[in-house]
């Protein structure tokens, strides 16, 4: 999916109602009535957007439609700090999630606010919302807590920190730069595993294409499992309990990947595009657009990060 981040046009502002609805946090299975966006405390985030000083909205356009939006407004909302600090709101449509769009929107907005001379930006996020970790990686820090939500702020006065790119986004970028699927995920985690880039590239090189294009276990998953081993595997090979606990982590990651993508095997995931032989295909834009590899790489890296940050699985059947 080709994604372009740009400033939202005035005639597109009515679409903010849909993005505001998607920004309302809900737990899995929880239903929220669409009328919720008309409550005064929520409607204030988009009412007459563009009319207040400092109103700014960026959007992500994918395949001819808007897939996500992030907007800044100086207002007394849930994340209010002071009259000079813009509060951010953001959402990505459900069928476009898991592809790094949120991270791109956030980085673009922070750059835009920095260019406009703002000293900081704020937001409010539920403590249970996984997006909280993305905000932490972007430099946001908790200012206060209230009723299960966190008010967070980021200092914009320094230069953007390139290390705030999340692991999933970094893995997708590495794939675009020529790494195979296993390398993309494993190298993306060098900051956590302690490997230097050259060593990580060599260690994971054989697992691309489902083990050297044998089309066996997806290389993206193999790269994630290699990183998981470095981060969580026991050092004592005779400790059966610790070994079982680690295999539970491996199975949880595998179950989650299969639940998201339908299979663990490269040949199944690629279908008719699973070529044979040992010569890799030429990397062209058509190659990237026609294959699911970039999405699978992003998913494997994201699932691993979620597992590490959220804690241990209880058994091998629990998804992350």
Q: What domains lie within the chain, and their CATH numbers?
A: 3-164 (3.40.630.30), 167-310 (no CATH)
pLDDT of 146 reads: 75
Half-sphere exposure of 300 (CA within 13 A, CB side): 34
Q: Where are the alpha helices (DSSP H) in the chain?
A: 16-23, 40-43, 101-115, 131-137, 167-176, 181-188, 190-193, 197-204, 208-211, 219-232, 240-261, 266-270, 285-290, 293-310
pTM score of the predicted model: 0.52
As given in the structure block, the two tokens for residue 252 are 């949880």
pLDDT of 313 reads: 45
Contact 320/305 with Cβ under 8 angstroms?
no
- Low-confidence residues in the chain, pLDDT < 50: 159-164, 313-320
pLDDT of 314 reads: 38
pLDDT of 91 reads: 95
pLDDT of 165 reads: 65
Q: Cα-flanking dihedrals φ and ψ of residue 72, to 5°?
A: -120, 135
pLDDT of 1 reads: 61
Token look-up 């697992």 returns 207
Q: Which residues pair with 61 in a beta bridge?
A: 4, 66
CA pair distance 136, 134, nearest whole angstrom: 5
pLDDT of 158 reads: 60
Q: Which residues pair with 144 in a beta bridge?
A: 151
Q: Say if strands 120-126 and 149-155 run parallel, antiparallel, or are unpaired.
A: antiparallel
């Amino acid at each position: 999916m080709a994604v372009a981040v740009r400033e939202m046009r005035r005639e597109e502002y009515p679409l903010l109602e849909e993005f505001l609805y998607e920004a309302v946090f809900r737990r899995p299975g929880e239903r929220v009535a669409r009328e919720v966006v008309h409550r005064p405390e929520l409607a204030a985030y988009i009412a007459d957007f563009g009319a207040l000083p400092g109103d700014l909205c960026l959007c992500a356009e994918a395949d001819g439609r808007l897939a996500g939006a992030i907007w800044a407004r100086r207002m007394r909302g849930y994340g209010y700090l002071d009259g000079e600090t813009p509060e951010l709101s953001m959402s990505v449509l459900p069928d476009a999630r898991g592809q790094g769009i949120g991270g791109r929107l956030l980085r673009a907005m922070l750059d835009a606010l920095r260019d406009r001379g703002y000293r900081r930006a704020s937001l409010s996020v539920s403590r249970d919302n996984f997006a909280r970790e993305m905000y932490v990686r972007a430099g946001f820090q908790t200012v206060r807590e209230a009723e299960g939500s966190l008010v967070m702020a980021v200092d914009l006065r320094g230069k953007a920190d390139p290390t705030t790119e999340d692991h999933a986004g970094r893995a997708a970028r590495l794939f675009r730069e020529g790494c195979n699927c296993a390398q993309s995920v494993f190298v993306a985690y060098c900051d956590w595993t302690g490997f230097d880039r050259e060593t990580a590239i060599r260690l994971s090189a054989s697992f691309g294409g489902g083990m050297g294009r044998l089309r066996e276990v997806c290389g993206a998953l193999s790269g994630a499992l290699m990183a998981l081993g470095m981060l969580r595997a026991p050092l004592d090979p005779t400790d059966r309990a610790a070994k079982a606990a680690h295999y539970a982590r491996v199975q949880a990651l595998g179950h989650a990947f299969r639940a998201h993508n339908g299979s663990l095997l490269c040949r199944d995931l690629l279908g008719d595009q699973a070529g044979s032989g040992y010569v890799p295909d030429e990397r062209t834009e058509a190659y990237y657009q026609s294959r699911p590899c970039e999405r699978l790489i992003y998913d494997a890296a994201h699932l691993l990060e979620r597992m590490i940050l959220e804690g241990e699985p209880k058994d091998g059947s629990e998804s992350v």
